Structure 1
Amino acid sequence: GPLGAGIAPGVAALILDAAGWRMVYMVSAPVALLMFWAGQSVLKELPTPPDQQKLDIVGAAAGTLAIAAVVTAIMQGRVWGYSSAMTVAVAAVGVGAFVLFIFNSFRHPEPLLNLHLFRRRGVMVSNLVNFMVGITSQSIWIVWPLFMKNVWNFTTLQVGLGVTLGPLAAGPSTLIFSRLADRIGSIGLCRLGTALQVFAVTWHLSMLGTEINFWTDFAPGIMLYGFGWGMSIPLLNGVALQWVEEKYYGETNGLFSTLRYASAAIGTAAVFAILTTNSGAEALPYYDRILGFFLVASALGAIAMWIPIGRPSITETK
């Protein structure tokens, strides 16, 4: 994972610069087919449990509608007006769908997401941090390339190589601190890692401007962000898993991943809602606003990491 993330931006930029965007997809297709073949050859499908319940169709529909409506209200609100009847109506649909999703999840015998797991303090705290930090960690990868391309006038190749520094820092960080966590525990590392992400966003907010100083203004921030991410976010899921029985590992992983992608959707919507001007010197105030938004979200995640969780206490969840 970390190796692929480190290689991908640079390789994609090289292909894009040399042969255009269509070639990027043409190269990806045979790789995907190879992975599909390898999966079919190596992975074994487990038998369906005999007591499997009905699919949570209502939960899936309500959850999807909630995210879609909230994202639409955030993105289109700048066009419709955030106090317009259309925006308020769409947002209300999202809130209503979310309430239905919560209600259904607690009543369904096999819900899409097992919200009962939030009764475990470790699961609750790790997912709260995961959600708040995820708002930034997923969508800031849109802002960095836009800034380099449209404010600093970097070429596609320069942009690709520039953002590669983040994954290159995150990869070794993930490997090193995942092993270190086995010896000293994960909580302290997660606290330090989330704090480093806050510092990295602060660095970019205070340093980036129209003058091109890649190695002094941009590189330290993206590398520090990747380093802090690798120190904390991969470990958070492990913190949650310490609080559940083995039979709930799949549901806990699903909960963690779903919240991460939901936060990514909200963060991405915020980017396009706030960054309405992204080219030239006149765009700097807009970049400051979105980085300020990211700073608040990251700081809230870092603060949440200090909520005491005590020692894992595993009891029956449902």
Structure 2
Amino acid sequence: MRITATTRSPGAALAVLAGAQFTVMLATSIVNVALPQIRDGIGLSDSGTTWVVNAYGLAFGALLLAGGRAADLLGRRRVLLAGLAVLGAASLAAGLATSSPVLIAARALQGLGAAAIAPAALALVMDLFPPGPGRGRALGVWGAVSGAGGAAGVLLGGALTQARGWQWIFFAVAIGTVLVLVGAVISVPRAPVPANATAQAPVTGSGRFDLPGTATVTLALTALVWGLTTARRSGWTDATVLGAFAVTGVLLTAFVLVERRHPNPLLPPHLFRAGRVTVGNALMALLGSVWIALFFFLPLYQQQVLGSGPLVTGLGQLPLAAANMLGSTLAPRISRRIGATATVTAALLTEAAGLLWLSRISAHGSYAADLLGPGILIGLGLSIAFVQLTALSVEGVAPQDAGLAGGLVNTSRQVGGAIGLAVLATLAGTATAHAAVHQPQLEALTAGYRIAFGVCAAVLLATAALAPLLTRRTVTGPSEAGRGPAPQPAADGRH
């Protein structure tokens, strides 16, 4: 990397890059508390309300791979700045929207901007901090900021919705994005790509951008999540739903064929032979399937069942956020003591315990009895698992593929989250509809939420059972050619 004043003192750059990640997470979570107000204010159906979340998550997840590869090919700083500009403009458009199609389209554009920001920013962090304790601490900051962004979104969303109206949740994201954009222009290095990247880069580091692959995988994911979301309303055997799944299969097949023939594939095979990329991403997808759904259902339970207002709902997320930030800070230290695999397993079991506790919520419960304790367990487990799986998923990847690896791990989390939300919303809706036949409305809603939290716990238990696969580390492949021993994340190499 070309040494500049910024790279000699990377603290300011890390602060800005963490701010970029904070903004992405803020845009993800700030709508959750305001969903009932958005639904009533702009005239959305129940399925349309889900798409306010899914439009962002789907565009984010489907385009992260393209964003990561664009960062590697065009320059990480350049792609970061472009992504911030798109996110800011789309957030302003969402706040000004007066119809549901405009709002959902603006949310999709927010996801597009976020898909450029997240992998570029993560790759820049990897560039600024070489393997070792420094990188572990930087990723701990990254995880803490991710948790803080999610919690700040819920709190700020509640406060702004109650005080100024739901439009201001989007205006707040626009303002924050502009501030981060200015900071990035000032503090982020202009030449973050390693000087030897060109010499080491395989065919994926140069050449034509994989537009056919990007298009087919994006359309496939869109068809998949649309089918899952529609199944909630129409049932799993509906012809439209089955047709969406069939289209998904055709497009995924086309994607595989395109990737085999393209000289610069979006997902080069050698990437999956580096480090723990494959297993790390698989576990991150399972974690993501719970993550987004959790922060979708929790505010709904607080508002629709417990009767909390938007501000009180946001304040109720603070203990979870504090636990999340604490866990992110402690994750590298814990991993150095007991190893990465044990850390991930313990974190997933801790989060699963919190979700099992949530699966016992009552229609006549209270925040202190039903949510406080589980929230702390979930915050600790989620943050530690996120930090460690992020580190493991980019371990052993060559510098010229860092953007793509960052895009891949974020894709796994976001696409897993979009699919998880669609499936869990369908299950919860079905359980509520069945319960409503013979139970009052609050009891029926609670029954649906209990099902969702119970399934989330089961997914995490299964994920914890798969965590020992992280011990199988690949050490050879083109991605690591010409390099020394692969870097270890904040895990001290013990498994």
Which residue number corresponds to residue 295 of structure 1? 457
Match status 1:15 vs 2:160:
yes
Match status 1:31 vs 2:31:
no
Shift of 1:196: 0.9
Which residue number corresponds to residue 72 of structure 1? 226
Amino acid at match of 1:267: G
Shift of 1:65: 1.0
Shift of 1:182: 4.2
Match status 1:162 vs 2:307:
no
Shift of 1:245: 3.2
Which residue number corresponds to residue 139 of structure 1? 293
Amino acid at match of 1:246: P
Shift of 1:84: 2.6
Q: 2:393 aligns with which of 237, 240, 250?
A: 240
Match status 1:315 vs 2:477:
yes
1:278-316 CA deviation, whole Å, 9 max, x = no partner? 962222221222223322322222111122524552432
Amino acid at match of 1:316: P
Shift of 1:130: 0.5
Match status 1:52 vs 2:206:
yes
Amino acid at match of 2:423: A
Shift of 1:36: 1.4
Figure out how many residues of one structure are paired with residues of the other and give that number: 317
| SS of residue paired to 1:307 | helix
Identity %: 21
1:244–1:314: 8 Å Cα contact kept in structure 2? no
1:56–1:111: 8 Å Cα contact kept in structure 2? yes
Amino acid at match of 1:66: A
1:240-276 CA deviation, whole Å, 9 max, x = no partner? 3333333333222221111111111112212432333
| SS of residue paired to 1:209 | coil
Q: 2:185 aligns with which of 40, 47, 51?
A: 40
Call closer, same or farther: CA 1:306–1:168 in 2, change over 3 Å. Answer: same
**TM-score normalized by the length of structure 1:** 0.90
| SS of residue paired to 1:275 | helix
1:136 & 1:204 partners in 2: Cα distance?
13
Call closer, same or farther: CA 1:235–1:34 in 2, change over 3 Å. Answer: same
Match status 1:102 vs 2:102:
no
Which residue number corresponds to residue 267 of structure 1? 420
Structure 1 gaps, min length 5: none
Any residues of structure 2 matched to 1:173-188 within 5 Å, and which?
A: 173-182=327-336, 184-188=338-342
Which residue number corresponds to residue 219 of structure 1? 372
Which residue number corresponds to residue 125 of structure 1? 279
Call closer, same or farther: CA 1:193–1:47 in 2, change over 3 Å. Answer: closer
Call closer, same or farther: CA 1:136–1:3 in 2, change over 3 Å. Answer: closer
Q: 1:152 aligns with which of 306, 318, 341?
A: 306
Structure 2 gaps, min length 5: 1-144, 199-204, 434-440, 481-495
Which residue number corresponds to residue 203 of structure 1? 357
Shift of 1:163: 2.0
Call closer, same or farther: CA 1:113–1:167 in 2, change over 3 Å. Answer: farther
2:231 & 2:322 partners in 1: Cα distance?
37
Shift of 1:8: 3.6
Match status 1:88 vs 2:242:
yes
**TM-score normalized by the length of structure 2:** 0.59
1:105 & 1:293 partners in 2: Cα distance?
34
2:320 & 2:263 partners in 1: Cα distance?
42
Query: Greater CA deviation, 129-138 or 107-116?
Result: 107-116
Amino acid at match of 2:160: I
2:211 & 2:376 partners in 1: Cα distance?
42
2:270 & 2:477 partners in 1: Cα distance?
12
1:76 & 1:240 partners in 2: Cα distance?
32
Call closer, same or farther: CA 1:47–1:188 in 2, change over 3 Å. Answer: closer
Match status 1:250 vs 2:403:
yes
Amino acid at match of 1:219: L
Which of structures 1 and 2 has the larger relative contact order (alpha carbons within 8 angstroms, sep 6+)?
1
